[in-house]
Amino acid sequence: MTVRGHEPIDLSNLKGLWDRGDVDNTPLDHMQDCNNLQFIGNNFKTRDGLGISQTVAAPLENVFRIYNYPTQTANTTLVLTYDGTNGNIYHVVDASTVYHILGPIAGMEDFAFIPYAGRAYISPFKTFTTGDINIQKGLSGEFLYVYLGAGATARKAAGSTPAGALTIANGAAGHTDPGFHIFAVVGESDSGFLSEPFAINTFTTVATNSVSFGTVPVLVGAQWTKRHIVATKVIPTYNGDNTGYQFFFIPGATINDNTTAALNNVSFFDADLLEDASHLLDNYAEIPAGACLWLYHDRLCLSTTYTDISLIYISAAGEPEAISEIDGLIIVPLDGNPITNGAELRDIMYVFKRSRTTSYTDTGEEPSNWPDSPIDAGLGTCVHGIATVLDSGNANVDFFIVCTFAGIILFNGRYILPELSFKIEAIWRSQDRNQYRKIQIVNCPTRKTIYCVLPDSRVLTGNYQNGMDPKNIRWCPNTWYTIVNCVGIVNIDEIIIGCEHPNSGIM
């Protein structure tokens, strides 16, 4: 029905905020201002409020980072609090159960995190200023930590080995291939990390006897749970280089504790020595802290340490704490900018800088030999700029949602333009590029909504119920009477908002 010749505007199918160019150019089916709304079907209402997410007497305050942390038995969160000097990390199991697992660490403004087999790998980092540019790097003198998920304090990943002697003698009647062997001990931690072979000693075995090991060294630390004996095959001509030969695990030669002093009467043939242990000689005993963690082909990847902003540390497959000092390193083409993120999509590893994207392919060789391929020389992302999807990491079926300097863009191996945030270009370009590390973005498929914390503390929501494309997505910024620092998802579709004060809240 017309009124004085004017066609009515249908408010039942508005397509969210339009903030691009002159406000007079706003399409009739969009809003010039729609702060604090949420979309329900084709209608909208005032956004939901926040409730305190904890029922403990002293809820966490000054929350600067939240991650969804799936353990073996529950969907939980890791939370960083920062008081301007020290950072502390907590494992929030539920509203009433909180463990303090790391800290205080001086200067820990943020942390990288990746879950693996129920464990949490944690890397402290902060923002450093170089000239007039802010960059994120691992903290100097800090390391990668591992948390087992049960409330005990996180510890440094990997581990050093003790000095000590391994006593070797002929055992009871048994069998070995007679000849000169080199033996050593390998420790195993509660997270499955295998130490480098230590307490190396030589011995000449006899065909009709087993081998006995005395004074097997004990490793320092409660994390060590097992010790394995490793050996070379018979060495016809010994050159004196104890670490230059190939070591193998001896089947059955395992001490299932870190206290027993001896292991007696072990029989084996050289043909039984199948599982290689030589690569353990080259692994880092301490892994430096970085600003980025991700997984690729079941390998842990860490980058942007305090000293090497373009270096990626890549673990052995299935062994996230085993990183070779020789073959486990990749140098991303140098351009003066640090690595800011990484992720796997369709069997390819994508590595991001602020304004550059490069890919690497696992060829079956060592990581140092993987070929690189430039993807985009103008677009990249920030340290939290790839949307996580529930507890499954970054990829949503067949694409990423990426925060770039140009806007929020879908990425499926290339950046799909126009950007998903096309309709709100003015909001995006008004953000301080030097504060992009404050961006954190998550995707909640069950709510069909993207949540993105902006550097100005607004939470930008993008409802894609009518389509995840630049035309049909409906954008709306949300604000609260507090400083919002981060966002996370727990239990499928509970949205957790991390606030500077009073504390984190749940939508």
Q: Does 395 have pLDDT greater than 50? A: no
Cβ-contact 301, 360 below 8 angstroms: no
Q: Does 245 have pLDDT greater than 70? A: yes
Q: Distance (Å, rounded) from C-alpha 136 to C-alpha 75?
A: 28
Task: Answer with the residue of higher pLDDT: 7 or 201.
Answer: 201
Across 500-505, average pLDDT: 66
> In the prediction, which pLDDT does 9 show?
67
Question: Which one, of 256, 306, 313, lies nearest residue 284 by Cα?
Answer: 313
Q: Does 479 have pLDDT greater than 80? A: yes
> In the prediction, which pLDDT does 29 show?
87
**Hey, is 422 helix, strand or coil?**
helix
**Hey, is 436 helix, strand or coil?**
helix
Across 415-438, average pLDDT: 95
* Three-state SS sequence of 47-60: CCCCEECCCCCCCC
> In the prediction, which pLDDT does 502 show?
59
**Hey, is 320 helix, strand or coil?**
strand
Cβ-contact 438, 65 below 8 angstroms: no
Q: Pull the structure tokens for residue 346.
A: 């369709």
Find the range with the poorest average confidence among 157-166, 180-189, 456-465: 157-166
Q: Distance (Å, rounded) from C-alpha 416 to C-alpha 405?
A: 14
Find the range with the poorest average confidence among 79-83, 94-98, 128-132, 283-287: 128-132
Residue 298's pLDDT band, with cuts at 50, 70 and 90, is very high
Please name the residue that has the structure tokens 């000097």.
85
CA angle at 283 for the pair 281 and 287, rounded to the nearest 5°: 155
Q: Does 269 have pLDDT greater than 70? A: yes
Please name the residue that has the structure tokens 């480098």.
196
Q: Does 295 have pLDDT greater than 70? A: yes
Task: Output b/e per residue, 80-89; b: 16+ Cβ within 10 A.
Answer: bbbeeeebbb
Q: What is the CATH number of domain 58-157+284-434?
A: 2.130.10.10
pLDDT tens-digit profile of 43-59? 888 888 888 888 888 88
Q: Provide the residue ranges of all domains of the chain, joining segments of one domain with +.
A: 58-157+284-434, 167-282
Q: Does 488 have pLDDT greater than 80? A: yes
pLDDT tens-digit profile of 190-206? 999 999 999 999 999 99
Rounded to two decimals, the pTM is 0.92
Residue 176's pLDDT band, with cuts at 50, 70 and 90, is very high
pLDDT tens-digit profile of 204-243? 999 999 999 999 999 999 999 999 999 999 999 999 999 8
Across 253-279, average pLDDT: 95
Task: Answer with the residue of higher pLDDT: 505 or 58.
Answer: 58
- How large a percentage of the chain has pLDDT more than 70? 95
Q: Does 391 have pLDDT greater than 60? A: no
